Amino acid sequence: MRSSNPVFRTLERSESYAGSEVATYRGIMGKTAILLLLAVLSGYFAVTQIPIETLFPLLLGSMIVALIAVIVSTRSPRLAMPFAIIYALAEGILLGVITALVESYYEGVALAALIGTASIFSVMLFLYSSRTIRVTPRFTRIMFSILLSFLVFYILFGIFGLFVTIAVNVPLALGISAILIIFGALMLAIDFDRAERIVEGGADKTYEWMVAVGLMVTIVWIYIELLRFLAIIASSRR
């Protein structure tokens, strides 16, 4: 079975790493909480302590660092912990700047997106743990195909936008954003399944950091798409 999350697909291909301690659900959730907390703290520091004129280079730099950190933390179990922390700090800066910019135009949107993200995570965890949602190989293949389609769409849309001015259609933008939110929620189900297989398979405790990074990638996806969705609604009301 394959995951639609590229972080977990990398984890599937990595070799087993034997150790004295094995991964646990509590360890995975604890490390995920630590990464999220670090992201919140770094984001708060970025928007409150760093001069506004440095925000753009900071945004660009954090994107590059976060990408490198994700690649390293999902390919090396021994380096997973330090680079997972680096990823959380860099991603926190990125999210902090984006959140501050959106909140400056549409007050209250960030809090709503945060509550929505937490709600989606809780609901999907309940649906998966109660086996209301079952992850099958076919379902995973479909999700992976949709993910590739999204990536191709974004690439083509970005290239097309360089040459043609694209008018924003509010209903269409809301529809696309809603689809991406639903897709992110379904990715959580697949990621929960991957975490379960890692724990039940007796993987080394080091893999907890790798799983935590994978979960955080999906959570960030959902938060950003919710932020976009709510910002579009707020903008259309003005």
Q: What is the DSSP string of 121-151?
A: HHHHHHHHHTTSS---HHHHHHHHHHHHHHH
Q: What pLDDT shows up at residue 15?
A: 43
Q: What pLDDT shows up at residue 174?
A: 85
Q: What pLDDT shows up at residue 7?
A: 53
DSSP string, 43-68: HHHHHHHS-GGGHHHHHHHHHHHHHH
Q: What pLDDT shows up at residue 238?
A: 64
Q: What pLDDT shows up at residue 123?
A: 92
Q: What is the pTM of this model?
A: 0.81
Block means of pLDDT (10 residues each) for the chain, 238 residues, are: 50 48 89 93 85 77 90 85 94 89 87 93 90 80 76 59 52 84 88 87 86 92 92 81
Provide the terminal-to-terminal Cα distance of the chain, rounded to the nearest Å.
47
Q: What pLDDT shows up at residue 160?
A: 45
Residue (of 231, 120, 141) closest to 184 by Cα position: 120
CB under 8 Å to 232, separation ≥6 — which residues?
Answer: 170, 173, 174, 177
Q: What pLDDT shows up at residue 141?
A: 79
Q: What pLDDT shows up at residue 161?
A: 43
Q: What pLDDT shows up at residue 8?
A: 52
Contact 55, 45 (CB under 8 A): no
